[in-house]
Structure 1
């Protein structure tokens, strides 16, 4: 049996939607990264871009476990003195999109293909999004309680 290698004509980019209400950040990021890479498809190849578009809604309602609200997210502009640090508590109020994008970016491979796949991630703070014409399929993430039993 020969190894199947997907051709560009074989690749399709489906649309999925994830509701981030009360979903733990890590579980959301792993699910989104799997869909963006296309690892849920039987035709997955690590060198081919077979990933899907992922829409994340209700980003401001994401659940952060442990001590993450006091944790700091760093970014650098590339210019001297351009180190920026924002706490997750501030970002959750001002820009929850950045929290999810950085978590998903950390779970993608560090190569040029990941930059293309990350462009297919669409994060929205509220429940409204402009991609209803694409008819995205809903993806359910199991909400597991993080409390000790």
Structure 2
């Protein structure tokens, strides 16, 4: 699914959580870089979320070499909030379900990740794959202004 998050709706949602505090809400992208994956390889990378701000993930984006799009539908992915141990999905799913080639995929609801946590990004390839440049979490970071 590809939902569009309207800035005023994002602002209202975040302010329901934080109340009347003065907030700075900024767009942010965190990326885990990969390379080529061998057949049956499981590769894991960690995205470190800034300790100075909470992060609301709206979706995932993936990029790779030109040949990447031919093998893309076979790669499976698992995202896990390493701080809480909570996975984003009940099990590994095809990467195409997270981030279809050519456009960003949005979660049906923003995913809260507290400051100074990490997200584990695991990819599994059933056969040799071209270079995967990165898996990115797209969203906003929120910090309180004092």
The TM-score with structure 2 as length reference comes to: 0.29
Q: Which has the higher contact order (CA 8 A, sep 6+)?
A: 2
The alignment's TM-score, normalised by the length of structure 1, stands at 0.29
Greater percentage in helix: 1
Larger radius of gyration: 1
Give the number of the structure whose residues are more often strand, by fraction.
Answer: 2
